[in-house]
Amino acid sequence: MAPLTTSPQHPSSTLVNISSDADLRLIRLLAPHCSKSFESTCSTAISAGDASKLLRTILDDERAIPEIITGNYILEEAVGIYSLFGALLERVGSSEDQKKLCAGLTEAVVKTLPVNGNHDDSDGAKEKRSGVLAALFNTRSDGIEKIRILSHIVEMADVEALAPGVGVSSLSDLLEPTVLEASMNVWGENIPDVEKRGLFRAVVKGMDRLMEKLRSERGDTMAEGVEAEVSAADKNIRDVEDRKQTYLLLILDTYKDESSVDKEALTYAQQASVGAISHPIDLFSTQHRLLHLPAVKALQKSPSTSPLYDLLKILHEGKLQDYRDFTAMPDKSGVFATFSLNEAECAKNMSLLSLVSLAGEHEEIPYSAIASTLDIPEDQVEKWVILGVSSGLMEAKMDQLSKVVIVERCVVRQFGRKEWENLKVRLDKWKVNVRGVLDALKSASE
């Protein structure tokens, strides 16, 4: 994985050309801003080769780290200083001391944030915070340390740096879910779920911040009446929603059993369920496991969230009639208003998923069968087939003369005994066809 950088670009934290007296020169630069004993205490630690004492002295002085972040140091200088700190950490003999000092160096940067939460520092402190943490991140090999540092980087990052898309920023590239999961496997096989959850939570919050900004910009674009820009804004918002949904699923994956499900888990389960119901076609394969996650299953136990679970189950496994029966129940239909769900959009998606289920059961489907399943006039069948194909969930051709839809490929919404039996029938048919071809070739060669 390439070193993590932040915008604007700054040198990697790879330790190159750090002179033997770099630590002493740094102490002399910081000394005028620190306590009277700072320089002498640090010099003694340097002379004794005690990297642990040197770093503790720097951390214990309330002005040392703030001077690096909010003082007159430029970005490259601040990054260089934290690269030096990373080198000093490697000289600390105890791994436990390394972890504590690394945490201290991270928290010291976080503490320099303005109390009012305004990250837009005119003196460039914001860029320096991200830059020095990126430097520290790149020097550490411990998986837990890297995850904790990365969580803070995400929390402090400009929302533009979090936007999904190749090449947006090195941070965004790293946060691409498959990339991050692969990276975490490299960082360590036994990283606790609670540590992963903290990082995933930071990404979800970052996506919320980004979404708020994009929706505000979309409103301005709509006011200007530029249709192409509105369409592009909608796509950007969907990309962010997809990334947030993926990370919600990753959060829920960290709750391995029912006993680990807490109030926070239920909140994320609600959010993920609403996301899956709102956009059941997107992320179809990843969201398919949602019903089996302990935190989502727990939604059944509360009267306030059980209708949400029931609706999610219908969207995943049911058909249009199941959906209509659900919406006809007074104690269930209120779920749309409670969770701000678009009922018309849900009905449309349910019809599309019912078509996909039908396509998964038959190789050829008469127009009349589709019309009956979706409860629509026959002259609307082709429109729905086109929607099904454009969704990517199926591939099919329409024989308009015979009024038959020929299914070439279709995703399977669930795979049980019935689906196994259908697969056996198809395999037997292919077996007969292949045998016929082989017999024909054999006869032709004789």
Task: Tell me which of 15-29, 51-65, 238-252 is least confident.
Answer: 15-29
Cα(122)–Cα(55) distance, integer angstroms: 29
pLDDT at 121: 61
Q: Which two tokens stand for residue 371?
A: 């019309």
pLDDT at 114: 87
Average the pLDDT over 325-331 and give the result.
92
Average the pLDDT over 354-359 and give the result.
92
Task: Tell me which of 50-54, 190-194, 231-235 is least confident.
Answer: 231-235
The domains of the chain are located at: 1-140, 345-445
Question: Taking a C-beta distance cutoff of 8 angstroms, is the pair 290, 276 a contact?
Answer: yes
Tell me: the pLDDT tens digits for 382-436?
A: 999 999 999 999 999 999 999 999 999 988 876 666 666 776 777 888 888 888 8
* 396 three-state secondary structure: strand
Cα(422)–Cα(135) distance, integer angstroms: 56
pLDDT at 116: 66
* 404 three-state secondary structure: strand
Position 16 confidence tier, pLDDT thresholds 50, 70, 90: very low
pLDDT at 213: 92
Question: Taking a C-beta distance cutoff of 8 angstroms, is the pair 316, 279 a contact?
Answer: no
Tell me: the pLDDT tens digits for 285-324?
A: 778 889 999 999 999 999 999 999 999 999 988 999 999 9
Average the pLDDT over 369-373 and give the result.
96
DSSP 380: G
Single-letter residue type at 54: L
pLDDT at 217: 86
Q: Give the dihedral of Cα atoms 108, 110, 115, 121; nearest 10 deg.
A: 110
Tell me: the pLDDT tens digits for 124-141?
A: 888 999 999 999 999 999
- C-alpha distance from residue 104 to each of 21, 85, 138, 313 (Å): 23, 11, 16, 46
Q: Which two tokens stand for residue 287?
A: 């969201």
Instruction: Burial-class residue 247 by CB neighbours within 10 Å (0-12, 13-18, 19+).
Output: buried
CATH number for the domain formed by residue range(s) 345-445: 1.10.10.10
Residue with tokens 């009277």: 36
